[in-house]
Structure 1
Amino acid sequence: MSQNLLIELKGVAKSFRAADGTARSVLEKVDFELKEGEIVALLGKSGSGKSTLLRIIAGLIPSDTGKVAYRDRPIYGPVAGIAMVFQSFALFPWLTVQQNVELGLEAQGVPADERETRADAVLELIGLAGFGGALPRELSGGMKQRVGIARALVTNPDVLLMDEAFSALDVLTGETLRNDMLELWDEDRIPTKGILIVSHNIEEAVMMSDRIIMLSSDPGCIRCEVKIDLPRPRNVDSPEVRALIDEVYGLMTMRPVQEVVAGAVAHKHQGYRLPETDVSRIEAVLDLLADAPFNGRADLPQLAEESELSDEELFPTYEALGQLGLTLVEKGDISLTPLGKRYVEAEQSQRQELFGQQLLTHIPLVAHIRRSLEQEANGMLPEGPFLELLEEFLEADEAKRVLGVAVEWGRYGEVYEYDYHTGRLTLPETAEES
C-alpha cells in the first residue's frame, strides 16, 4: 500500500433493483486510485454512473462487489476524512450560514466554542466573513455554493468530493469560485490532500485537474485517462490548453467499441436509449455548423463557444446528429455528412421527411413503435407497452424521458402521431390511408 494513496477502488460494481426486481448494472469493474496532491476529474455521459461512483466513495451507498478503501481501510459508511460538495447546495433553509457550516462538526461531537471558531475561520477563508448570521434565501447562488464548500472544508477533510459543484452557477460566478478553490489548493491554504470532481464541463476539467478519467455508459466503466502536466494557474487560451481541450472533446465524442457493437445489433438494452436532446436543438446546431464561419466543419470547442450551450446540452445533440447520419465527429472536429448538407439546404417539409427516414433506419425504438402500430388493425396503441419495454432496462423516470424523446422525434418526422390527453400513439393519416 502506497503511503500517499488516499482512495483505492478495485473491481467495483453497482446495480440497482427496478420495481419488477430486475437488476440494472450502473457500474462494472471500476479500478481507480486518488493519490495525495492530485485533483482528478471524472467525465462521462448520462448513464455512466459518475455520481453513483462518488457516493460510493463518500460512503453514502455501498458497492455490490469490489474493494472500496480510504487510506487502505474499507469504506462501510461516511468517513470523517472525506467530505462532499453537492450541485444543489443542499443547505437547510431554516438554519443560518454559520449553523449550516457547523453541522458536520456538530455531528462529530465537536464542542460549541470550537465549532464557532472553526466555522468563522473557514467562512473568512472562502470569502463569506460577516455572512454567518444570514439565511440561505438571502444569498446568491454563488454564495450558497461557497457555504456548501465551507461546510465541507470545516471538517478538515483529506479528500474533497465535488459533484457538479459549479454547474448550477452562471458561467462567470462558476469560473470565479473555481479559481478561488484552485488558489486555496495551490497555496496549501486548505488541509485537503486530494480532490475528485464530477463534471460535464470539459474546459473546467482541463483547467482544474491533474488527470481526467472518462467513463463509458450502460454500465459505467473506465474507458480512458488523460494526464495533464501543465502547471496551474492555466491560461485557457494557450495552445497547450486548447490542444488538451480538443483531445478530450475528441475522446468524449468517440463511441467505445462495445457501444458500436451494441448499436449495430440494435440490442434493446443499448439501442433503445436515446440522447437527451430535442429537435429544435438538433436543427439549431446543424444550422450553426452549416453557416459561416464554419461552413460545414467546426472544431468542437469553438462550436460550443459559438452556440452558447453547455457541454451537458451539446454532447447528447452531437450523439443524436451522429445517430441520424447528419454529422460525423472525428478527433475533436464535427462536420456535415452529404446527407447533413442536403438537410440544411432543404425546405421544412423535406427536412421532416428526411428526419423520419433516418429515424426508421437508425433509431431502433422509433422503428419498433412504427412496426407495432402497423401491425394493429386500427393503427393505434397505448404508450404503456412501450414504457414497460423500456423499464426492463431503465429506471422508470429514464424510461419516461426516453419515450418522450421518441415521441417528439417521431412526431416531427411524421412517423406516428401522439395524443397527450390519452397517451395513445397512432399512425399518421397518410400512412393509414395507404
Structure 2
Amino acid sequence: MADALVSLDHVTKSFPGADGEALLVLDKISLDLLDGEVVALLGRSGSGKSTLLRAIAGLIPVTSGSVRYRGKELNGSNPGTSMVFQTFALMPWLTVQENVELGLAARGVSPAERRTRALDAIDVIGLDGFESAYPKELSGGMRQRVGFARALVLEPDLLLMDEPFSALDVLTAENLRTELMSLWGKHDFPTRAICVVTHNIEEAVLLADRVIVLGANPGRIRAEVRVELDRPRDRRSLAFQAIVDQLYELLTGSGPGDGTAAAGDATPTSDPLPNATVGGLAGLVEIVFARGGRADLPDIAAELSFDIDDLLPLVDAAAMLGFLAVHGGDLEVTAVGLEFTTADIQTSKQIFAAQARERAPLVKAICRGLATSADGNLRASFFLDLLRRGFSPDDARQQLETAINWGRYGELFDYDTDSDTITG
C-alpha cells in the first residue's frame, strides 16, 4: 500500500447556526490520501466537499477528530498542500509572474529563485509569453492556468482543487482537464497526489483513481469507487459508462449516510426540497413519458446537452413527489406520474397539490402550521428561523422559496412579499 500523505480520522466539523446552535457540516469522515493517486470528492450541495478540502489544507480547524500530514497532526495550515480555486483568486494588480511567485514569497524564497521557479511553472502550464500580462488581459482558461502554476510552483505533496473547471466553458474545461492529466502522467510532475472536489460525475471518472461519494446534510462518506481504467479515458466506452451509472446510483439512491429519513420520520431538515421548479420537474416527467414511460438519464442529459448533475435536482423533486421511480440510471413514470402528466391543467394542479402536501416535508409543515394558526396566516420568517437551525442562511432561504413556489402552484397557500406573510 502506498504511503498516506494525509489521513483524516473521524473528522467532524460544525459551524454556529443562526440561533446559536451548532450546524453539523461533516460527520465522522475517515479517509487516507495516498502517494501516487488522484482522488475525487464527489457530492451534491450540502455534502461539505469544500469544507472537507479546507480541513485537509488546514485552513479551518476541525471540531473533533484529527487531520494528519505524514503522520503529524495539523495545528494550522498544511505545509504539504497547495490549492487551486474555482474562482481563480488572482491578484488583479499583479502580473502573471508576480501572481505565481506569491506563495514562494510568503515562504521567504529569494527573489532570484522565485523568478526561476515561477518561469519554469509558467512554461510547464503553457503560459510562456504571458509573464508580464495582468489577469484582466487573460481569458478564463488562461487565468485558471495561472492558478495551477501558482499552486504547482510550491511543489506540494498534495495538490488540492476545488471545482477548478466549473467556472470555464465546456471546451476550455475539457482542454484543461486533458492537459492536467497529461502532465500528471509525466515523471517530473511537481506533486505526488491530487485531490479534486467536483459535483460532475463524468469529471470524477475522467480524473480519479478513487472517487469518494459524499452524502449530504451532514456530509458523510457513502461509498468509495475505484476507477481502474487506463488513461486517457474514453467516456464513450462501456466500462466508463458503467462507472458513471454506478456513481449516479450512489448519488440518487437512498441508504445509510445519505441524509434521507424514512418516510414516516421525514422532516424539512432530513429531507430538504430539491432546488427545482414545478415546470422543470414536470418537463422531466413529460420527457420520460414521451419515451414510453422509462428512460436512461445519461441519454436524456446527452440529448439535451446538459450534464447529468444539472438534471439531478429535477430527478429528486419528481421522485420526492412520487411522479418518477429511480432505478440506477433509469427513470420510470409511476402511476400517479402518468396521471399528473396526462391530465388537464386543473386536474394536474390538484394531483401536484396532494403529492406535495403529503410527500414534501416543508410544504407539509407549512400547511399544518397554517391550519393551526388563528387566522390562517403565518409570517414566512417563522419558517425561515426554523430552517436556519439545520441549513446555512442561503440554503434556508432557498428551501423556503422552493416551498412557496410549490405551494402557490398547487394553490395550497399564497405569499405576500410586502407583509412577508404566507396565507392559507
Asked whether the two chains share a fold, i.e. TM above 0.5, the reply is yes
The whole-number CA distance in structure 1 between the counterparts of 2:163 and 2:302 is 20
Q: Which residue of 1 aligns with 2:37?
A: 38
Once the two structures are TM-superposed, the CA of residue 262 in structure 1 deviates from its matched residue by 4.5
Contact kept? 2:89, 2:147, Cα under 8 Å: yes
Contact kept? 1:262, 1:270, Cα under 8 Å: no
CA offset digits 1:111-131 (Å, max 9, x no partner) = 112111111111111111111
Farther-moved stretch of structure 1 (206-215 vs 342-351): 342-351
Q: Which amino acid in 2 is paired with 1:264?
A: G
The whole-number CA distance in structure 1 between the counterparts of 2:7 and 2:185 is 23
The whole-number CA distance in structure 2 between the counterparts of 1:26 and 1:167 is 22
The whole-number CA distance in structure 1 between the counterparts of 2:67 and 2:85 is 21
Contact kept? 2:415, 2:421, Cα under 8 Å: yes
User: Taking structure 1 as the reference length, what is the TM-score of the superposition?
Assistant: 0.94
| 2:258 aligned with 1:282 | no
| 2:408 aligned with 1:411 | yes
CA offset digits 1:149-193 (Å, max 9, x no partner) = 111111111101111111111111111100000000012342211
| 2:173 aligned with 1:174 | yes
Contact kept? 1:200, 1:311, Cα under 8 Å: no
Aligned match of 1:397 in 373, 389, 394? Answer: 394
Aligned match of 1:366 in 363, 367, 371? Answer: 363
Once the two structures are TM-superposed, the CA of residue 267 in structure 1 deviates from its matched residue by 3.6
Q: Which residue of 2 aligns with 1:387?
A: 384
Once the two structures are TM-superposed, the CA of residue 63 in structure 1 deviates from its matched residue by 0.8
Contact kept? 1:246, 1:300, Cα under 8 Å: no
CA offset digits 1:42-87 (Å, max 9, x no partner) = 1112211111110000110011111211111112222232011111
Q: Which amino acid in 2 is paired with 1:367?
A: K
User: Taking structure 2 as the reference length, what is the TM-score of the superposition?
Assistant: 0.96
Q: Which amino acid in 1 is paired with 2:113?
A: E
Once the two structures are TM-superposed, the CA of residue 261 in structure 1 deviates from its matched residue by 3.4
Once the two structures are TM-superposed, the CA of residue 348 in structure 1 deviates from its matched residue by 2.4
The whole-number CA distance in structure 1 between the counterparts of 2:292 and 2:150 is 49
CA RMSD of aligned residues (A): 1.6
Q: Which residue of 1 aligns with 2:315?
A: 318
Q: Which residue of 2 aligns with 1:424?
A: 421
Aligned match of 1:327 in 324, 336, 342? Answer: 324
Contact kept? 1:56, 1:63, Cα under 8 Å: yes
The whole-number CA distance in structure 1 between the counterparts of 2:411 and 2:306 is 28
Once the two structures are TM-superposed, the CA of residue 266 in structure 1 deviates from its matched residue by 2.0
Contact kept? 2:7, 2:31, Cα under 8 Å: yes
The whole-number CA distance in structure 2 between the counterparts of 1:141 and 1:113 is 29
Q: Which residue of 1 aligns with 2:15?
A: 16
Query: What pairs up with 1:140-289 in 2 under 5 angstroms?
Result: 140-257=139-256, 259-271=259-271, 273-289=272-288
Secondary structure of residue in 2 paired with 1:319: helix
Aligned match of 1:354 in 351, 354, 359? Answer: 351
Once the two structures are TM-superposed, the CA of residue 225 in structure 1 deviates from its matched residue by 0.9
Once the two structures are TM-superposed, the CA of residue 378 in structure 1 deviates from its matched residue by 3.1
Once the two structures are TM-superposed, the CA of residue 244 in structure 1 deviates from its matched residue by 1.2
Contact kept? 2:18, 2:389, Cα under 8 Å: no
Q: Which residue of 2 aligns with 1:432?
A: none
CA offset digits 1:123-147 (Å, max 9, x no partner) = 1111111112222122111111111
Q: Which amino acid in 1 is paired with 2:318?
A: L
Q: Which amino acid in 2 is paired with 1:48?
A: S
The whole-number CA distance in structure 2 between the counterparts of 1:112 and 1:281 is 55
CA offset digits 1:207-261 (Å, max 9, x no partner) = 1111111111122111111111111111111111111111111121111246443
Query: What pairs up with 1:19-98 in 2 under 5 angstroms?
Result: 19-98=18-97
Paired residues in the alignment total: 423
Describe the shift of the 1:263–1:133 C-alpha distance in structure 2 as closer, same or farther (beyond 3 A).
farther
Once the two structures are TM-superposed, the CA of residue 35 in structure 1 deviates from its matched residue by 0.8
Once the two structures are TM-superposed, the CA of residue 366 in structure 1 deviates from its matched residue by 0.7
Query: What pairs up with 1:93-112 in 2 under 5 angstroms?
Result: 93-112=92-111
Point out where structure 1 has 5 or more consecutive residues left out of the alignment.
428-434
Q: Which amino acid in 1 is paired with 2:180?
A: M
Q: Which residue of 2 aligns with 1:336?
A: 333
The whole-number CA distance in structure 1 between the counterparts of 2:248 and 2:297 is 7
The whole-number CA distance in structure 2 between the counterparts of 1:367 and 1:3 is 51
The whole-number CA distance in structure 2 between the counterparts of 1:256 and 1:278 is 26
Once the two structures are TM-superposed, the CA of residue 283 in structure 1 deviates from its matched residue by 2.1
The whole-number CA distance in structure 1 between the counterparts of 2:419 and 2:245 is 47
Contact kept? 2:267, 2:362, Cα under 8 Å: no
Q: Which amino acid in 2 is paired with 1:413?
A: G
User: Identity across aligned pairs (percent)?
Assistant: 46
| 2:299 aligned with 1:299 | no
CA offset digits 1:277-299 (Å, max 9, x no partner) = 222321222222222xx332222
The whole-number CA distance in structure 1 between the counterparts of 2:98 and 2:281 is 46
The whole-number CA distance in structure 2 between the counterparts of 1:277 and 1:64 is 33
Secondary structure of residue in 1 paired with 2:261: helix
Contact kept? 1:249, 1:301, Cα under 8 Å: no
Contact kept? 1:7, 1:33, Cα under 8 Å: yes
Query: What pairs up with 1:120-131 in 2 under 5 angstroms?
Result: 120-131=119-130
The whole-number CA distance in structure 2 between the counterparts of 1:281 and 1:156 is 46
Farther-moved stretch of structure 1 (418-427 vs 280-289): 280-289
Contact kept? 1:275, 1:316, Cα under 8 Å: yes
Farther-moved stretch of structure 1 (258-267 vs 237-246): 258-267
The whole-number CA distance in structure 2 between the counterparts of 1:262 and 1:97 is 53
Contact kept? 2:388, 2:396, Cα under 8 Å: yes
Secondary structure of residue in 2 paired with 1:261: coil
Once the two structures are TM-superposed, the CA of residue 206 in structure 1 deviates from its matched residue by 0.7
Secondary structure of residue in 2 paired with 1:212: strand
The whole-number CA distance in structure 2 between the counterparts of 1:80 and 1:279 is 48
Contact kept? 1:13, 1:27, Cα under 8 Å: yes
Contact kept? 1:251, 1:332, Cα under 8 Å: no
| 2:306 aligned with 1:309 | yes
Secondary structure of residue in 2 paired with 1:269: coil
Contact kept? 1:47, 1:219, Cα under 8 Å: yes
Point out where structure 2 has 5 or more consecutive residues left out of the alignment.
none
Once the two structures are TM-superposed, the CA of residue 337 in structure 1 deviates from its matched residue by 1.1
Q: Which amino acid in 2 is paired with 1:266?
A: A
